[in-house]
Amino acid sequence: MSTKRLPRQRAIFDRRTIAETIAKLVEAHGDQARPHIVTTLRNALDKGRGELAQRLADKPSAGHECTAGHAFLTDQLLRVIYDHVTAHVYPAPNRTAAERLAILAVGGYGRSEMAPHSDIDIAFITPMRRAPWCEQVIETMLYLLWDLGLKVGHSSRTVGDTIRLAKEDLTIRTALLESRLGCVDQAIY
């Protein structure tokens, strides 16, 4: 099931509201906002998981909708974290060609088949040798995800490395075939 057909998405995760809350926390607390942001994200994650659990309890035959809902929840969480990191932690208004990033959902997450509390499998893809900005953004995103208690399987590669490794390794090739763009740069994907 595509997350586009998922009913009442904002009841699972209201990205706009969470982003506004994070911006206010940054404004109010500056460099000390991180613990408040983690609490906000954790509460949103718990609320989304609760909503999905309730939907499954109300309609036990809606397993596919529930697994797609968990992928949607993860998509929104990643997007709001990326937006926060690139707007408030490492803003780069005039990014170079190397300062671009695609975040791919892979594995069960890429297929939109996430069970509750599944690992989040993601691939960070950059156009060329990673610029320091990309490395900082990736590291900060991962730390925020870990602070939320999430298990994250991740890789960080350039487009060229990804193609080369896919030619050499059937597992990587299969993961890429089942991947989807989680957020950010469509052209890299």
pLDDT tens for 172-184 read: 888 888 888 777 7
Confidence of residue 3 (pLDDT cuts 50, 70, 90): very low
Would 25 be classed as within a structural domain?
yes
Confidence of residue 4 (pLDDT cuts 50, 70, 90): low
Would 134 be classed as within a structural domain?
yes
Confidence of residue 66 (pLDDT cuts 50, 70, 90): very high
In this structure, the chain runs to a length of 189
Number of structural domains in the chain: 1
Q: Give the pLDDT confidence score for residue 173 in this predicted structure.
A: 85
pLDDT tens for 73-108 read: 999 999 999 999 999 999 988 888 888 899 999 988
Helix (H) or strand (E) holding 95: none
Model pTM score: 0.92
pLDDT tens for 115-167 read: 888 899 999 999 887 789 999 999 999 999 999 999 999 999 998 998 999 99
**DSSP states along 125-167:** EESSS--HHHHHHHHHHHHHHHHTT--EEEEEEEHHHHHHHHH
Query: For position 115, which CATH number holds?
Result: 3.30.460.10
Would 169 be classed as within a structural domain?
yes
Would 189 be classed as within a structural domain?
no
Would 37 be classed as within a structural domain?
yes
Taking residues 58-74, report their average pLDDT.
93
Q: Give the pLDDT confidence score for residue 108 in this predicted structure.
A: 87
Query: How far apart are the C-alpha atoms of 29 and 10, rounded to whole Å?
Result: 27
Highest average pLDDT, of 60-64, 88-92, 168-172, comes from 88-92
Would 27 be classed as within a structural domain?
yes
Of the candidates 83, 95, 106, which has an alpha carbon nearest to the alpha carbon of residue 157?
Answer: 106
Would 126 be classed as within a structural domain?
yes
Which residues contact residue 33 at a Cβ distance below 8 angstroms, ignoring those fewer than 6 apart? 22, 25, 26, 88
**1 pLDDT more than 70:** no
Q: Give the pLDDT confidence score for residue 2 in this predicted structure.
A: 42
Range of the domain at 50: 3-184
Would 166 be classed as within a structural domain?
yes
